[in-house]
């Protein structure tokens, strides 16, 4: 029995608490409306399954090493450029390395800490809902920025709403100290995460590469060569 439960758990990751109201509403609509027309029942059932899948929150095993920056989101590396950070971050007006991860509606949307550190500042900025893959989305779209102070300095992680996304959720507060891989928020339904790193940081990803939140190394802040990695599950 324990083996069967373990198999089921691995096949169907848990649903994040943010998703249960949406799953419940979708399930009720499926039963009520589907009772009047069977073909519509199957369509709505498929929608309910997709909603449950969207809010899945699987366990991740996070690499840990001094200066290692881990992907805060599942998705695809859409930009890898040197730019000035958004002014609301309060960071020096100097170029930084920006690594952008685009999340489509089929990715896991729970966001995780890219590095262990203190949340020095959280800044919400209202804006547009342009396609999150556009470069200008980082300055024009609605977004929520976290400035993170860690042992080697300061980086920033910015949640950006997209065409479909209409709700950025944050589960942390200024002054909180979080460990790399900890969950800090999510974006509903399709969006982007930008990570701003000091200029000269060594990226460990390439354009088009797929990332997993809490698992995929994005960059190395130390540039000191290979470092043995530790891991932890969360």
Q: Which of 78, 100, 138, 191 is catalytic?
A: 191
DSSP characters for 205-229? --TT-EE-TTTSEEEESS-SS--PP
> What does the longest C-alpha to C-alpha distance in the chain come to?
65
Determine the Cα–Cα distance for residues 135 and 138; give it in Å rounded to an integer: 6
Nearest to 157 by CA among 131, 127, 178, 133: 178
Q: Are the C-beta atoms of residues 170 and 185 closer than 8 Å to each other?
A: yes
Q: Residue 175 to residues 87, 94, 119: CA-CA distances in angstroms? A: 21, 25, 5
Burial class (CB in 10 A: 0-12, 13-18, 19+), 38: exposed
191 is a catalytic site residue:
yes
How many angstroms separate the CA atoms of 232 and 63, rounded?
7
Closest C-alpha among 222, 198, 218 to residue 97: 198
Q: Looking at the annotation, which residues are catalytic?
A: 191
């Amino acid at each position: 029995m324990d083996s069967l439960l373990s198999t089921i758990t691995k096949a169907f990751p848990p649903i994040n608490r943010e998703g249960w109201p949406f799953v419940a509403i979708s399930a009720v609509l499926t039963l009520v409306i589907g009772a009047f027309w069977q073909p519509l029942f199957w369509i709505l059932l498929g929608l309910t399954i997709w909603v449950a899948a969207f809010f899945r929150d699987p366990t991740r095993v996070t690499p840990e090493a001094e200066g290692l920056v881990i992907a805060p989101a599942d998705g695809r590396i859409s930009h890898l450029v040197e730019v000035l950070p958004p002014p609301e971050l309060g960071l020096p007006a100097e170029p930084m390395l920006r690594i952008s991860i685009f999340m489509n509606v089929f990715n896991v949307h729970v966001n995780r800490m890219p590095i262990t550190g203190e949340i020095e500042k959280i800044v919400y900025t209202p804006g547009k809902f342009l396609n999150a893959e556009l470069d200008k989305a980082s300055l024009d779209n609605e977004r929520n920025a976290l400035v993170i102070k860690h042992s080697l300095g300061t980086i920033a992680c910015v949640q950006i709403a997209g065409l479909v996304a209409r709700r950025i959720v944050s589960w942390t507060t200024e002054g909180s100290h979080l460990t790399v891989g900890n969950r800090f928020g999510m974006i509903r339904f399709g969006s982007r995460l930008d990570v701003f790193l000091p200029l000269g940081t060594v990226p460990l990803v390439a354009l088009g590469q797929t990332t997993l939140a809490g698992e995929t190394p994005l960059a190395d802040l130390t540039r000191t060569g290979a470092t043995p990695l530790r891991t932890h599950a969360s």
